[in-house]
Structure 1
Amino acid sequence: MSNRWAEDDCDLPYGVLRLGSDAAQEGCTYVMYHGTSSRNAELVKRSGFQQSSDGMLGRGVYLSRDPQKASCYPLNHPEKDKVIIQVQVNVGRVKRIRRQNHPLRKTWHDHGYDTAWVPPNCGMVPSGLEEDCVWDPRRIKVLKVIKPQPEYSICSAYLCWNAN
């Protein structure tokens, strides 16, 4: 059984935007999500996010405006220990990366961008869900940790498809 993530949309901070299918607008602040384990969520709450050393978009903090995308992580981790961290992010200057061979796929920050954005259904990720990579963890403010509720999700469909 997989998870539905209970999001409390009614208490968004002033000026923070909800999920939309449009590109992240430069200089705007959005609610985003980061999937992790309970233990790592506690570390993030205490010390803040740390940049990953690498990934699909290079170094940075990987987030999504879609809680279903975040609910897939960490991969191959027990469902009962997965949580998502709801955050507030000022995206700064945004670079759209729509394909694997994009010339700035891993070097976007070197060209003055603060966030790289992979649009939904562009072929970059098998789930078809959008993804963001924020260079500077100081742009991210933790709002709360969200616990799962049992229900079918796109994550389980993706993981089952990916395993075959």
Structure 2
Amino acid sequence: MEVKILEIFDDDYSLYAEVVSKSFLTVAREFNFTEENAPTNPAFIKPRHIMRMKEKGINMFGLFLDNICIGFVAVEKIDNECFCMERLSVLPEYRHKGYGNMLVNFIFDFVKKFGGKKITIGIVNDNEILKRWYIKKGFCQTGTKTFEHLPFEVGYMERTI
């Protein structure tokens, strides 16, 4: 099996939105998120959102297993030293096989290559499993924030590169 992480330059927005949506849907169900109570959650992402990310200049990458996209991650440059990693996704049937680690390590290298010193993320703060996973990857929690339009508290984490 051939595994590749490739920057996304094409406009197959439907494919990437489907990978992100299916990947986040498991957590959305676990926490009872719906399109009505958490419309900005990636479980409900649409192709137009991927298109907007591309138009905004956000770097997006797909993880391909034998030319089939099974994962996705995006990274946005905040300033010369800080980058924000977003939408880290691995389809449920491919989890626990190291693909998420591959994507995160790829982003670490990408950020280093462009002179970044820090990566930030935002997660569902009550998702303890995900939080522990990121802690194992060297992230530490830097704060939390409640937003009126979200049914959960956002946990902010960062990692120095």
> The TM-score by the shorter chain falls in which range?
under 0.3
Higher helix residue share: 2
Instruction: Return the structure number with greater relative CO, CA threshold 8 A, min gap 6.
Output: 1
Higher strand residue share: 2
TM-score (norm 1): 0.23
TM-score (norm 2): 0.23
